[in-house]
Amino acid sequence: MTEEEKQNNSNKGFRLPGFQSIQNTPCARDAILHGAGGSLAAGLLHFLVTSRVKRSFDVGFAGFMLTTLGSWFYCRINNAKLRVQQRMIQDGMKNKILYEGSVPDPVTHPRAETPSSPS
């Protein structure tokens, strides 16, 4: 194999048929790793308490699903909040550059506050 073929094989990553690459999906790697840890902890703890193998496997699988989904949703929600904050900051910077030194500059000429309730 040449160097180029080795690079192409190493960049493929883990793929499921019909899905995007796990490597390129935001939060997927961390969620699966958290799920693996959660399933190990839940299954092992249940086995140590009850000594029932099949039920411990079921508890471990449920722990994997719950931990993976919980971690993935938490990460995705935080990423969405971060993107909204970044967009607001970018718009604010764009407006500052646009209005800086002009007549409608909100920094030099603040708007008059109007009461919210009609009198």
Q: Which residue has the tokens 């938490």?
A: 74
In sequence order, what are the residues at sequence separation of 6 or more whose Cβ sits closer than 8 angstroms to the Cβ of residue 55?
46
106 pLDDT above the threshold of 70? no
**pLDDT tens per residue, range 27-83:** 888 999 999 999 999 999 999 999 999 999 999 999 999 999 999 999 999 999 999
**pLDDT tens per residue, range 9-40:** 555 666 666 666 666 778 888 999 999 999 99
Q: What is the reported pTM?
A: 0.64
Two tokens, residue 52: 């029932």
